[in-house]
Amino acid sequence: MEQKTSRIGRFLHALELDVRLLGMVLALLAIWVVFDILSGGSFITPRNLFNISIQSSSVMVMAAGMVFVIVTRNIDLSVGSILGFIGMIIGVMQVNLLPDLLGHGHPLLWVVALLGGIIIGGLIGGLQGSVIAYMGVPAFIVTLGGLLVWRGAAWWVTSGQTVAPMDSTFRLIGGGNGGTIGYWPSLIVGLACCALIVFGLINGRQQRKRFNFPLRPMWAEFVLAGLGITIVMGIVGIANSYYMPARVAKRYAEANGIAVPEGGLEIAYGLPIPVLIAIGVAIVMTFVAKRTRFGRYVFAQGGNPEAAELSGINTKMMTVAIFSVMGMLCGLASAISTARLNASTNATGTLDELLVIAAAVIGGTSLNGGVGTIVGAVLGALVMQSLQSGMVLLGFDAPLQNMVVGVVLVLAVYIDIIYRKRAA
């Protein structure tokens, strides 16, 4: 048994895989299998997985920013309220303000609203970060106040009224009707991602040779390439195996001048646009974390704030920048949520702060600072949404769903404590 364990350990060591990340993937698969069995095969279906991916997109986007916040030993309890407030701003801009300035149906209307929401989010995050960094108020208190302030501001913008409908092009961001890229574009995106995986492995190996760093065995490079390609094409395959209902496909064909055969059309949805946005954010944030000076400063500040400041890092400006990034990602996530609902409501984003923090922590971001991965946070968001979706399929009430989320969060922190003790 020990020999078998040591072989597995050597195998994982050669691949240089994060054991906790691998555990997350296995836990996610286990959740899917259990819910599929309990639901009589209704969980692991293209339709359900497609919906889970869309529903978790906004949380994924914010969780990517929350990793940076928690890594620096801070917390942001206001992200759900910021999302709701910016959603109302985006709605008012599209429905009330911009049509009068640009004209109804102007092609840039949704672009201005989207950019406006992201900029406002950055300003809100920067304001909170400035209070934390320069006034010395703990992040917990500042963002707890922000949770109340911005939720109230969301109501104040329209006196509690729902704003709808959104611009037709803007709605595509939410992944609703037409908010996917189709079969062939999805396949092209998947193949492009596979090519990037292979290029990244080749480039990484060349860089290691250049700086005389230890090299992975060639078989490990091939295994990593195979795993990456399998995951990417598996995601594309699931998206392309979910077809439009017959009536929707017929309307789509008529709108686009496609002849409908006697047997009907099978039109695949393909990859949803919000999922592509979330993946894009994860890639960019991972690049920033691992390949830029800013990312190195973030983890240095989280690992030892005093040492980081003594080494010349402006930790106060870093804090402001990190919360500004968090705010901008809240603005982007707000656009996704608002577009998906096709309306701005006061309830949008309620309790999302708990889901975002839970996703980051479950994904391996340590509350003690200095440790965290964007990929882990994305997987954490999928775990949280999978749990909620599975419980909905089984008929669990909302209060019980919140109880399960709370228990999972506590267990994730407990596992993090045990992992850190063993690593030490």
pLDDT, average across residues 362-388: 91
**pLDDT the model gives residue 404:** 82
Q: How many helices (H) and strands (E) does the chain have?
A: 18, 0
**Complete DSSP assignment for 360-390:** HHHTT--TTSS---HHHHHHHHHHHHHHHHH
For residue 346 the two structure tokens come to 């006061």
**pLDDT the model gives residue 169:** 93
Place of tokens 């309620």: 350
- Kindly list the structural domains of the chain, giving each domain's residue range(s) and its CATH number in brackets, ordered by start: 2-171+295-423 (1.10.3470), 180-271 (no CATH)
Q: Is the pLDDT of residue 373 over 90?
A: yes
Average pLDDT for the chain: 91
The predicted-structure confidence for 228-254, as pLDDT tens digits, reads as follows 999 999 999 999 999 988 887 877 777
Confidence of residue 3 (pLDDT cuts 50, 70, 90): low
**pLDDT the model gives residue 151:** 95
Contact at 8 Å (CB) between 135 and 129? no
Q: Is the pLDDT of residue 264 over 80?
A: no
**pLDDT the model gives residue 423:** 67
CB atoms within 10 A of CB 109: 23
**Complete DSSP assignment for 142-187:** HHHHHHHHHHHHHHHHHTT--B-PPPTTGGGGGT-TT-B-BHHHHH
**pLDDT the model gives residue 131:** 98
**pLDDT the model gives residue 424:** 61
For residue 262 the two structure tokens come to 């006697």
> In 3D, which of 73, 64, 4, 144 has the Cα closest to residue 315?
73
What is the rounded (10 degree) CA torsion for 113, 115, 117, 121? -170
Measured N-to-C along each axis, helices 57-71 and 315-341 cross at an angle, to the nearest 10 degrees, of 170
The predicted-structure confidence for 404-422, as pLDDT tens digits, reads as follows 878 887 887 787 778 777 7
Contact at 8 Å (CB) between 285 and 64? yes
The length of the chain, given as a count of residues:
424
Phi/psi at 163 (5° precision):
-110, 125
Strand partners, 180: 272
Confidence of residue 149 (pLDDT cuts 50, 70, 90): very high
> Which pTM was predicted?
0.94
CB atoms within 10 A of CB 75: 19
User: 262 or 276: whose pLDDT is higher?
Assistant: 276
One-letter amino acid for residue 394 of the chain: L
> In 3D, which of 228, 174, 223 has the Cα closest to residue 348?
174
**pLDDT the model gives residue 5:** 54
**pLDDT the model gives residue 239:** 94
CA atoms within 13 A on the CB side of 390: 22
Contact at 8 Å (CB) between 329 and 64? yes
Contact at 8 Å (CB) between 176 and 340? yes
DSSP state of 93: I
For residue 292 the two structure tokens come to 């830029």
pLDDT, average across residues 342-348: 92
**pLDDT the model gives residue 417:** 76
The predicted-structure confidence for 198-231, as pLDDT tens digits, reads as follows 999 999 999 899 988 889 999 999 999 999 999 9
> In 3D, which of 415, 359, 365 has the Cα closest to residue 28?
359
One-letter amino acid for residue 313 of the chain: I
> In 3D, which of 166, 152, 162, 131 has the Cα closest to residue 81?
152
**Complete DSSP assignment for 280-336:** HHHHHHHHHHHHSHHHHHHHHHHH-HHHHHHTT--HHHHHHHHHHHHHHHHHHHHHH
**pLDDT the model gives residue 299:** 96
For residue 313 the two structure tokens come to 């890092």
DSSP state of 245: P
pLDDT, average across residues 48-59: 96
Q: Is the pLDDT of residue 323 over 90?
A: yes
User: 18 or 189: whose pLDDT is higher?
Assistant: 189
pLDDT above 70 covers a percentage of the chain that reads 97
**pLDDT the model gives residue 4:** 56
Stretch among 64-73, 74-83, 315-324, 348-357 having the lowest mean pLDDT: 348-357
Q: How far apart are CA 123 and CA 289, in angstroms?
A: 22
Q: How far apart are CA 125 and CA 262, in angstroms?
A: 56
Q: How far apart are CA 237 and CA 249, in angstroms?
A: 19
User: 119 or 363: whose pLDDT is higher?
Assistant: 119
The predicted-structure confidence for 384-401, as pLDDT tens digits, reads as follows 999 999 999 998 888 888
The predicted-structure confidence for 165-188, as pLDDT tens digits, reads as follows 999 999 999 998 889 999 999 999
Confidence of residue 14 (pLDDT cuts 50, 70, 90): confident
For residue 283 the two structure tokens come to 């890639």
For residue 146 the two structure tokens come to 């922000």
> In 3D, which of 390, 364, 378 has the Cα closest to residue 20?
364
> In 3D, which of 353, 342, 321, 335 has the Cα closest to residue 81?
353
Place of tokens 């639901």: 39
